[in-house]
A and B are shown apart, each in its own frame.
Chain A
Amino acid sequence: MAKIKRQVAMIMDLNKCIGCQTCTIACKTLWTRRKGMEHMLWNTVNTNPGTGTPLNYETMGGGFKNGAAQPGVLPTRKDWGDRFDMNYEEVFYGGDKDKTLEDRRGDPQGGSNWDEDVGEGDYPNNYYFYLPRICNHCTHPACLEACPRKAIEKREEDGIVLINEKKCRGYQFCAEACPYKKIYFNEEEGVSQKCIFCLPRLQEGVANACARQCPGRVRFVGYLDDPEGPIHKLVYKHKVALALHPEYETQPNVFYVPPMSPPKIDAEGNPTDESRIPPEYLEFLFGPEVHAVMARVDAERAKKMRGEESELMDLLISRKWQDMFGPFTKSPAEVERISVANSDQAVSVFDPAVQYTPDNEIHPVQFINPLEDR
Chain B
Amino acid sequence: MTAGLSRRGFLQSIAASTLVLTTPSFVAKVAASVSEVTDLPIPDYDSWQDIYQTQWSWDKIAKGTHLINCWYQAHCAWDVFVKDGLVYREEQTAEYPQTNSDVPDFNPRGCQKGCSFSNRMYDATRVTHPLKRMGERGEGKWKRVSWDEALTDIADRYIDVTVNEGSDRTIWDCGPGLDLATSSAAVFRFSKYTRSVILDMNTEIGDGHRGALETMGKISGERSADDFFYSDLILIWGSNPIYTQIPNAHFYTEARYNGTKIITISPDYNASATKSDLWVPVKPGTDAALAMGIARWLVEHEKIDRAFMAEQTDMPLLVREDTDKFLTEADMVASGSAHGFYFFDTATNAVVSAPRKSLSLGELDPDLDASTTVTLLDGSEVKVRTVFSRLKDTLEDYTLANVSKICGTGEKMIELMAESIGNSKAMTNVTSSSLNKYFHGNLIERSMIMVFALTGNMGRHGAGYGAFPFLTPDGFEPFMMLPNMHSLEQFAHQVHGMVEEKVAEGMTEEMATYDITKMLFATNSPFPQVTSGTLFWAIHGGIKDLHDDNWTPFITRPVSDYVMEAVNSGDQPLLPPSGTTPRIIFHFVSNSLRRVRGGDILKEKLWPKLELSVCLDMRMNTTAQHSDYVLPCAAWYERNSFKWVTPLSPFLTATTAATEPLGESKPDWEIVLLLSEYIQKRAKERGIGTVKSPYGEDIALDKLYDQVSMNGEFGPKDEEKVAAAILDLSSNLDGVTWDHLKEKGFAKFTSHGHEGLSLGNMTDFKEGETIVPHTHHVDKKVPWPTTTRRMQFYIDVDRYLEMGETLPMHKEPPKIGGNHPFMLTGGHPRESIHSTWRDNPLMLQLTRGEPFILICPFDAHSKGIEDSDVLRVFNDVGEFHVKAKLSPSLQPGQLLIYHAWEDYQFIKGSMRNVTPSPINPVELVGNSGTHLDPRFTTGQPSTFDRDARVDVEKIEA
Contacts from A to B (Cβ < 8 Å): 15-16, 18-22, 24-26, 28-31, 34-35, 81, 83-84, 86, 88-89, 91-97, 99-103, 108-109, 111-114, 116-124, 126-129, 162-167, 189, 196, 199-201, 209, 212-217, 259-263, 265-266, 268-271, 301, 304-307, 313, 316-322, 331-333, 337-342, 345-367, 369-373
Q: A117-B889, A331-B95 are in contact. Are A358 and B144 (CB under 8 A)?
A: yes
Q: Which residues of B contact A351 (CB under 8 A)?
A: 2, 5, 30
Max chain B Cβ within 10 angstroms of own Cβ: one of A126, A217, A316, A365? A126
Query: Smallest CB–CB gap between A354 and chain B, Å?
Result: 6
A217 and B106 alpha carbons, distance in the complex (Å): 10
Is B94 within 8 A of A196, CB to CB?
no
Closest residue of chain B to A121 (Cβ to Cβ) is B888
Is A20 within 8 A of B84, CB to CB?
no
Q: A16-B250, A359-B18 are in contact. Are A128 and B889 (CB under 8 A)?
A: yes
Query: Smallest CB–CB gap between B180 and chain A, Å?
Result: 25
Closest residue of chain A to B662 (Cβ to Cβ) is A355
Q: Which residues of B contact A26 (CB under 8 A)?
A: 91, 115
Q: Which residues of A contact B277 (CB under 8 A)?
A: 262
Q: Which residues of A contact B40 (CB under 8 A)?
A: 345
Is A122 within 8 A of B858, CB to CB?
yes
Q: Give the top 9 A-B pairs by smallest Cβ distance, nearest first.
A: A348-B4, A269-B410, A353-B122, A304-B259, A270-B410, A88-B124, A270-B412, A321-B107, A165-B48
Q: A18-B246, A108-B850, A363-B141 are in contact. Are A358 and B413 (CB under 8 A)?
A: no
Query: Smallest CB–CB gap between A370 and chain B, Å?
Result: 5
A144 and B708 alpha carbons, distance in the complex (Å): 68
A100 contacts which of B46, B58, B128, B907 (Cβ < 8 Å)? B907
Is A123 within 8 A of B888, CB to CB?
yes
Is B83 within 8 A of A97, CB to CB?
no
Q: A103-B849, A216-B249 are in contact. Are A19 and B271 (CB under 8 A)?
A: yes
Is B844 within 8 A of A86, CB to CB?
yes
Is A91 within 8 A of B24, CB to CB?
no
User: Is the CB of B807 closer than 8 A to any CB of chain A?
Assistant: no
A118 contacts which of B10, B43, B889 (Cβ < 8 Å)? B889
Q: Which residues of B contact A363 (CB under 8 A)?
A: 141-142
User: Is the CB of B26 closer than 8 A to any CB of chain A?
Assistant: yes
Q: A103-B849, A350-B84 are in contact. Are A200 and B53 (CB under 8 A)?
A: yes
Is B410 within 8 A of A94, CB to CB?
no
Complex interface: stretch among B97-105, B215-223, B766-774: B97-105
Complex interface: stretch among B129-137, B364-372, B454-462: B129-137
Query: Smallest CB–CB gap between B186 and chain A, Å?
Result: 25
Query: Smallest CB–CB gap between B780 and chain A, Å?
Result: 30
Is A271 within 8 A of B278, CB to CB?
yes
Q: Which of B809-859 contact A (CB under 8 A)?
A: 830-831, 839, 841-842, 844-850, 856-858
Max chain A Cβ within 10 angstroms of own Cβ: one of B10, B135, B261, B842? B842
Q: Which residues of B contact A124 (CB under 8 A)?
A: 269, 279, 281, 891
A268 and B271 alpha carbons, distance in the complex (Å): 23
A143 and B91 alpha carbons, distance in the complex (Å): 31
Closest residue of chain B to A36 (Cβ to Cβ) is B1
User: Is the CB of B592 closer than 8 A to any CB of chain A?
Assistant: no
A122 and B839 alpha carbons, distance in the complex (Å): 32
Q: Which residues of A contact B667 (CB under 8 A)?
A: none
Is B887 within 8 A of A269, CB to CB?
no
User: Is the CB of B108 closer than 8 A to any CB of chain A?
Assistant: yes
| Main SS class of interface, B | loop
Query: Smallest CB–CB gap between B940 and chain A, Å?
Result: 34
A332 and B91 alpha carbons, distance in the complex (Å): 8
Is B139 within 8 A of A114, CB to CB?
no
Is A369 within 8 A of B841, CB to CB?
yes
Is A333 within 8 A of B79, CB to CB?
yes
User: Is the CB of B164 closer than 8 A to any CB of chain A?
Assistant: no
Q: Which of B159-200 contact A (CB under 8 A)?
A: none
B4-32 to A contact mask, C-beta < 8 Å, 1/0:
11110010011001110100101000100
Q: Which residues of A contact B47 (CB under 8 A)?
A: 166
A347 and B892 alpha carbons, distance in the complex (Å): 56
Q: A262-B277, A357-B129 are in contact. Are A123 and B140 (CB under 8 A)?
A: no
Is B124 within 8 A of A369, CB to CB?
yes
Q: A117-B271, A354-B24, A371-B119 are in contact. Are A349 and B257 (CB under 8 A)?
A: no
User: Is the CB of B596 closer than 8 A to any CB of chain A?
Assistant: no
Q: Which residues of B contact A29 (CB under 8 A)?
A: 89, 115-116, 118-119
B413 contacts which of A99, A270, A331 (Cβ < 8 Å)? A270
Complex interface: stretch among B577-585, B684-692, B898-906: B898-906
Is B256 within 8 A of A301, CB to CB?
yes
Query: Smallest CB–CB gap between B424 and chain A, Å?
Result: 12
User: Is the CB of B568 closer than 8 A to any CB of chain A?
Assistant: no
Is A331 within 8 A of B115, CB to CB?
no
Is B84 within 8 A of A339, CB to CB?
yes
User: Is the CB of B242 closer than 8 A to any CB of chain A?
Assistant: yes
Query: Smallest CB–CB gap between A257 and chain B, Å?
Result: 10
Q: A92-B125, A339-B59 are in contact. Are A361 and B21 (CB under 8 A)?
A: yes
Q: Which residues of B contact A261 (CB under 8 A)?
A: 274
Is A95 within 8 A of B139, CB to CB?
yes
Is A355 within 8 A of B124, CB to CB?
yes
A372 and B93 alpha carbons, distance in the complex (Å): 28
Q: Give me 29 A-to-B residue pairs in the complex whose CB atoms sit less than 8 angstroms apart, sorted by A's number.
A: A18-B246, A19-B271, A24-B846, A25-B115, A25-B116, A31-B52, A86-B839, A92-B625, A97-B139, A101-B904, A112-B846, A117-B887, A124-B281, A200-B53, A262-B278, A317-B258, A319-B103, A338-B57, A345-B40, A347-B51, A348-B2, A350-B83, A353-B122, A354-B14, A355-B124, A363-B142, A364-B21, A365-B124, A373-B2
Is A20 within 8 A of B134, CB to CB?
no
A10 and B30 alpha carbons, distance in the complex (Å): 40
Q: Which residues of A contact B846 (CB under 8 A)?
A: 21, 24, 111-113, 116
A359 and B20 alpha carbons, distance in the complex (Å): 11
A215 contacts which of B7, B108, B258 (Cβ < 8 Å)? B108
A367 and B662 alpha carbons, distance in the complex (Å): 14
Query: Smallest CB–CB gap between B133 and chain A, Å?
Result: 11
Q: A101-B904, A215-B249 are in contact. Are A358 and B17 (CB under 8 A)?
A: yes
Max chain A Cβ within 10 angstroms of own Cβ: one of B79, B124, B259? B124
Query: Smallest CB–CB gap between B832 and chain A, Å?
Result: 12
B254-290 to A contact mask, C-beta < 8 Å, 1/0:
1011110100100001110111111101000000000
Query: Smallest CB–CB gap between A83 and chain B, Å?
Result: 6
Is B273 within 8 A of A262, CB to CB?
yes
Is A352 within 8 A of B108, CB to CB?
no
B56 contacts which of A16, A30, A95, A355 (Cβ < 8 Å)? A30
B259 contacts which of A301, A340, A355 (Cβ < 8 Å)? A301
Closest residue of chain B to A108 (Cβ to Cβ) is B849
A318 contacts which of B46, B104, B273, B625 (Cβ < 8 Å)? B104
Is A86 within 8 A of B256, CB to CB?
no
Query: Smallest CB–CB gap between A203 and chain B, Å?
Result: 9
Max chain A Cβ within 10 angstroms of own Cβ: one of B52, B109, B902? B52
User: Is the CB of B313 closer than 8 A to any CB of chain A?
Assistant: no
Closest residue of chain B to A331 (Cβ to Cβ) is B94
Q: Which residues of B contact A201 (CB under 8 A)?
A: 56
Extra 20 A-B pairs, beta carbons < 8 Å, given A29-B115, A341-B59: A18-B275, A22-B246, A26-B91, A83-B841, A84-B849, A89-B124, A118-B886, A119-B888, A200-B53, A212-B94, A215-B92, A270-B410, A271-B412, A331-B95, A332-B61, A339-B84, A347-B1, A349-B1, A351-B5, A362-B143
Closest residue of chain B to A84 (Cβ to Cβ) is B849
A366 and B43 alpha carbons, distance in the complex (Å): 35
Is A199 within 8 A of B52, CB to CB?
yes
A269 contacts which of B86, B110, B404 (Cβ < 8 Å)? B404
Is A265 within 8 A of B84, CB to CB?
no
B746-775 to A contact mask, C-beta < 8 Å, 1/0:
000000000000000000000000000000
B850 contacts which of A102, A357, A369 (Cβ < 8 Å)? A102
Closest residue of chain A to B146 (Cβ to Cβ) is A359
Is A120 within 8 A of B841, CB to CB?
no
Is A358 within 8 A of B21, CB to CB?
yes
